[in-house]
Amino acid sequence: MKAWGLLAVIIAATVIADLLQSHEMKRHGEIHDFRPSGLRKVLSKLAGKRNLILAVACMAVSFFAFMALLQVADLSFAVPASAGSLVIETVLARIVLKEHVDSRRWIGAALVACGVWLLAL
Amino acid sequence: MNPRLRWKTRAFAAIVIFSNAFGNLSLTWGLRYGAGELTASPLSFVRAIFSPWVSLGICLLIAWMMSRMFLLSWADLSYVLPVTAFGYVLNALLGRLFLGENVTPARWAGTLLIMAGVVLVGLGNPHTGDST
């Protein structure tokens, strides 16, 4: 029961973090410069973004819950089960981020979700 | 999509997948064999974080987070999520090989389904451009 409670916390925090992160990174635009100086510039620019700070906070919550989950459940359960967020995120990517999700992606995401469900049995 | 962007996308997807799987393995190893039991006290988490395997796991997971952020700067979330889901398969494999976990036939069947989903999504374009 403790494991499922921790899992619910992980999924909720992950969904919020991913949506915020994707939204902010899209606003920033594609990163071209991967030299240390370029990366420093990008990181210092991103460090002040409120959505990314919130995303990192949600990731921290998710991470500490994940650490606790790893002590009470198998790795081969904990990681796949936490992917329960995937279906919710694909739906929200379409609704909130207005991404175009074609039928191939829907089918692929559905297969992944079914696989994740089987892994968690 | 131009070939440069396609290769950059694939390279970053690989970094995301492997840093996550080996980060989780290191974290689990550390939490089971060196970090002591986690309690409601934040101190137990702090103590665990500074144990060697957990620290290594956290470093790899930071690399995972950064590479994933970069990938999301040009690829759609609905592409990144399923493609990097191959990491779930890798996690199950590492759990079986290094942690001696009992991975049931249902879990292996799930692994195959995930791989099929990943291949299907990976054949598509990671950047849809126009949002509707």
User: Do B121 and A97 touch, CB atoms closer than 8 A?
Assistant: no
pLDDT of residue B128: 56
* Percentage of chain A lying above the pLDDT 90 cut: 10
Alpha carbon of B98 to those of A10, A35, B92, B94, B101: distances in Å?
Answer: 24, 35, 10, 6, 8
Q: Is B79 on the interface with A (CB under 8 A)?
A: yes
Interior angle at CA A83, CA A81 and CA A88, nearest 5? 125
The domain segmentation of chain B, as residue ranges, is 3-122
Question: Which residue, among B74, B81, B60, has the nearest Cα to B15 in the 3D structure?
Answer: B60
pLDDT band at B120 (very low <50, low <70, confident <90, very high): confident
Shortest CB distance from B96 goes to which of A76, A99, A112?
Answer: A76
pLDDT of residue B132: 37
Residues on chain A touching B85 (C-beta within 8 angstroms) = 83, 86, 112, 116
> What is the pLDDT at residue B91?
86
CA separation for the pair A42, B98 (Å, rounded): 37
Q: What is the Cα–Cα distance from A47 to A43, expressed in whole angstroms?
A: 6
Contact A63 B61 (CB under 8 A): yes
Q: Which residues of B touch A63 (CB under 8 A)?
A: 61
- The ipTM of this complex is 0.71
Indicate if the pLDDT at residue B129 is higher than 70. Answer: no
pLDDT in tens, A45-101: 878 888 889 999 998 899 888 888 888 888 887 887 777 777 787 788 888 878 888
- What is the C-alpha to C-alpha distance for residues A65 and B31, in angstroms, rounded to an integer? 13
B111/A119 CB distance under 8 A: yes
